[in-house]
Structure 1
Amino acid sequence: MMKNIKIKIEKLKYFFPIICKMVKFRIKVWWYKKYGNKR
């Protein structure tokens, strides 16, 4: 059980920055699509 949690945490440490970048990019694209034309 503990080993699985440790492996998951290690994977999260590696994937978290990538996921953050993807989410930020998605929000940016969505923001520009929704509000970019109104300026």
Structure 2
Amino acid sequence: DAEEYAECEAVVKDYPPFREAMKKRGIEDMDLVMVDP
């Protein structure tokens, strides 16, 4: 359901290796990132 998708997105965006990978690609604002489970 939508709540689970939102929770999944939050977990991924808060995962340090994911954030570091995005930073290496020039993306630091996680509000601009969409995560599709």
Larger Rg: 1
Q: 1 or 2 for the larger relative contact order (CA 8 Å, sep ≥6)?
A: 2
